[in-house]
Amino acid sequence: MPWVTSTYALSVDSDILGKLVPISSRPPLNSLIQTYDYICSLHEEWTFLHQSRWTKAKVLYIIARYVPFLFVITDIFLNFAPNENTRKCKILVYIYSSFGVISLACSECFFVLRTYALWNSNKIVLVAMLSALFAVMVSFIGICFSAIATSYVTTSAIPGITGCYRSSTRVQFFLPFLLLFIFQLGLVSLTLIRVVQTWRTSNSDIYAVLVKHNIFYYACGLFLSAVNVLAPIIFSDAVYYSLLEDLEAFVLALLATRMHLHLWHIDRYVYSPEIFTCISMSDMSSASADRTVITV
């Protein structure tokens, strides 16, 4: 099935929402984004993997970085592999959704840890953020998997068109990303508070302070969640929802891992090897005079 056929909608009984949409809309595009980013950062990535210490942060990085590849593989299999068994289709949908949730959770963990570092390793802030993230992810999983359980999953009825399809309502697309948007808005707010505090005490250029605090990484994630919240309102075709869902999962993983690599390389060049070897997770802290070290 060429990817343009991802826009096919199959009419079914009106009680089953009247329309079946593909599980994922643009596998080749997802593959291209992931592969291109990996090639562009290959040298930095292998330097990090070979020279950094084995910490929880490094394990988290590996999961966040490479789970999207499994996401892509499952995505392609769902769209292109001939499958006449609806039960197998539903199992594949569960696997595909699980990879998406894992990718999102790991990506958000990096933003939580970065915010924790900016707040000088404040335990109260960390507990609050992790509790909120846990609540959001549990709700996210509950909504997504209940939607799969109650949705109509089938194979293509059109000769020559392969892949698995399922139905979903607008609410099932809307709610998970609304929760994620609220959580990300909280992280952005905490980061902006630190930006203002730093700006007032250091009298630095506000743009430089924003860059140092990685606010643009946060803003991109917040924007993508806002788009996913608005998508069911703007678009009537659920194909677009699936495309935007996938895009956020991929881009958040890229943003989180890129931010991690960037901070690690800053620490690597700014601080001596003797200092760096004593730091378990220096890459999560700011390369500045008031640098906060996080041990994870």
| Euclidean distance between CA atoms 156 and 238, whole angstroms | 17
| Euclidean distance between CA atoms 198 and 191, whole angstroms | 11
Query: Domain boundaries in the chain?
Result: 3-284
| Euclidean distance between CA atoms 183 and 199, whole angstroms | 25
Q: What is the pLDDT of residue 170?
A: 60
- Helices 238-270 and 215-234 pack at an angle, to 10 degrees, of 180
**pLDDT tens-digit map of 218-272:** 999 999 999 888 887 777 766 666 777 888 888 899 999 989 888 888 877 655 4
Task: Give the confidence band of 29 by pLDDT, cuts at 50, 70, 90.
Answer: low
Structure tokens at 110: 């990096």
Q: Which residues of 245-280 are buried (b: 16+ CB within 10 A; e: fewer)?
A: bbbbbbbbbbbbbbbbbbbbebbbeebeeeebeebb
Q: H helices of 153-214, where?
A: 170-202, 206-212
Level-2 CATH architecture, domain 3-284: Up-down Bundle (1.20)
Name the least confident of 134-148, 152-166, 204-218: 152-166
Q: CB-based contacts of 37: which residues, under 8 Å, 6+ apart? A: 254, 258
Q: What is the pLDDT of residue 223?
A: 93
Task: Give the confidence band of 136 by pLDDT, cuts at 50, 70, 90.
Answer: very high
Q: CB-based contacts of 55: which residues, under 8 Å, 6+ apart? A: 280, 281, 296
Helix (H, G, I), strand (E, B) or coil at 79: helix
**pLDDT tens-digit map of 66-115:** 998 888 888 777 777 666 667 777 788 888 889 989 999 999 999 999 99
Q: What is the pTM of this model?
A: 0.76
**pLDDT tens-digit map of 188-224:** 999 999 888 888 887 766 667 676 768 889 999 999 9
pLDDT exceeds cutoff 80 at 8: no
